[in-house]
Amino acid sequence: MSDNRKQPGAPAANPLWGGRFAEGPAAIMEEINASVAFDQRLAQQDIAGSKAHAAMLVAQGILTAEDGEAIAGGLDQIAAEITSGAFHFDPALEDVHMNIEARLRELIGEAAGRLHTARSRNDQVATDMRLWVRETIDAVDDELKALQTALLDQAEAAAATILPGFTHLQPAQPVTFGHHLMAYVEMLGRDRGRFADTRRRLNESPLGAAALAGTSFDIDRQATAEALGFDRPAANSMDAVSDRDFCLEFLAAASILAVHLSRLAEELVLWTSPAFDLVALPDSLTTGSSIMPQKRNPDAAELVRGKAGRVIGDLTGMLTMLKGLPMTYGKDMQEDKEPVFDAADTLMLIIPATTAMIAGMTVNAEAMRALTAQGFLTATDLADWLVRELDMPFRDAHHVTGAIVKLAETKGCDLGDLALEDLQQIEPRLTDEVYDALDIDRAVAGRTSEGGTAPKNVKASVKAARKRFL
């Protein structure tokens, strides 16, 4: 590696652009400019991109086969050092790219300097980030598939377990717990679709765009794109180095997913409360209180709920950073990495935590059933019966049912407990057959419309979802 030590009577030059600048950067400039503390996570992607670039340069006759072999061998050694933890990342070398290049020069000498032919750190980092995000999307998808599996298993077991469905957090209509859980399976399916769409759009290679204008060297961008698993090279060199849409899309998909997980976590918090007592979480996913011995807190669910705000903040920060940037590259874009890394790390915590809670939760079917006695859940079924059996316009049926609900409230009983004589005071045409419409089990079993809550629908939807998602 070249000697960048300060000579007597001369200021220290920057090792990257010392030929242009006589003085080295101030300490604060070094500190604000350095990114290796976080972008070292791109090291393996950087090495993969460099190997593909070097191989292409050899194939095009721009590098000798001897230099190409030396570069590939040196990069393999660096990759092994990084994996083992033996590699030292030096903040003075600014970023992951220069750290690897400096180590390569130590290993193979002058040939290392030829690796950067027809390449800039602008297209280099854009390539690294795309590779990293692509791998992360694949890992997130695996975790989401595991979560869907846990939900499907619980939904299948609870296909006929009845509980109130809520709107406005008020009892609305009876549903099955399996049907409720299947709603989250669908939500997560859309999340996986968003990540897949992001992956498809990001899968273009910036490598070869150089700083912003392309290069005069006779390179083969198709070859490097293919070597790195990209579908094609990016079509415009300026867009290739300045585009961070894939980061935004990843963060947007991550934010929507985090919101979905937060909603599920909130329900777990409610369901585990003694006021509901609908499910119990394993001891391993709850905590106690430092002062109240009886407490059993759903901390895992609360942390999943809380960390959604963190992911949303990552997206907001990225949008704000990018909104005022002209073409093409600005150092502001160094700020693209930490939000993406943070969101990815957060997802890889909260998805498995949610999976563990869902897979480990115990369902209290008796408490769910008992809760259906509150809120007159079959009121809509009664209105529907009046429409079908008495040919009553629905608005009139709604009014009649409301009067019957009010009567039941006055008497302090459920709709099915009202005497037929009482019902006939409101609507004389009612017969004993009306009680069939007020039966909870019949009401749930009758919801057989496509996407409905009937147990046979739930079983069928679980089977179909396993084929669609797993």
Q: Count Cα atoms within 13 angstroms, Cβ side, for 81.
A: 18
Whole-prediction pTM: 0.91
Residues annotated as catalytic are 168, 289
User: Please, are residues 339 and 251 in contact by the beta-carbon 8 Å criterion?
Assistant: yes
3-state secondary structure of 165: strand
Distance of CA 454 to the CA centre of its chain: 31
Q: Give the tens place of pLDDT for each residue, 180-217.
A: 999 999 999 999 999 999 999 999 999 999 999 999 99
* pLDDT on residue 367: 97
Mean pLDDT of 312-322: 98
Beta bridge partners of 267: none
Res 175 pLDDT > 70 = yes
Q: How far is residue 400's CA from residue 426's CA, in Å, rounded to a whole number? A: 7
Percentage helix, strand, coil for the chain under 3-state DSSP, each rounded to 5: 65, 5, 30
* pLDDT on residue 26: 77
Beta bridge partners of 50: none
Beta bridge partners of 174: 164
Q: What is the mean pLDDT of the chain?
A: 93
Q: What whole-number percentage of the chain has pLDDT above 70?
A: 94
- Residue 182 buriedness (CB in 10 A; 0-12 / 13-18 / 19+): buried
Confidence of residue 293 (pLDDT cuts 50, 70, 90): low
3-state secondary structure of 409: helix
* pLDDT on residue 1: 36
Res 469 pLDDT > 50 = yes
Q: How far is residue 212's CA from residue 209's CA, in Å, rounded to a whole number? A: 6
Q: Give the tens place of pLDDT for each residue, 378-388.
A: 999 999 999 99
* pLDDT on residue 8: 40
Q: Give the tens place of pLDDT for each residue, 361-372.
A: 999 999 999 999
Res 7 pLDDT > 60 = no
Q: How far is residue 377's CA from residue 385's CA, in Å, rounded to a whole number? A: 14
Mean pLDDT of 264-279: 96
* pLDDT on residue 29: 81
Q: Give the tens place of pLDDT for each residue, 75-108.
A: 999 999 999 999 999 999 999 999 999 999 999 9
DSSP assignment, residue 470? -
Give, in order, the Cα–Cα distances in Å from 321 to each of 35, 246, 249, 331, 345.
16, 15, 15, 11, 21
User: Please, are residues 354 and 147 in contact by the beta-carbon 8 Å criterion?
Assistant: yes
Q: Give 197-260 as a DSSP string.
A: HHHHHH-EE-TT-TTTT--SS---HHHHHHHTT-SEE-S-HHHHHH--HHHHHHHHHHHHHHHH
Mean pLDDT of 43-57: 98
Mean pLDDT of 301-326: 97
Both tokens of 11, joined, read: 């200021």
CB atoms within 10 A of CB 78: 24
Mean pLDDT of 235-240: 98
Q: Spell 347-367 as b/e; 16+ CB within 10 A means b.
A: beebbebbbbbbebbebbbee
Q: Count Cα atoms within 13 angstroms, Cβ side, for 415.
A: 25
- More confident of the two residues 6 and 278: 278
Q: Which of 205, 240, 202, 210 is nearest to 226 (CA)?
A: 205
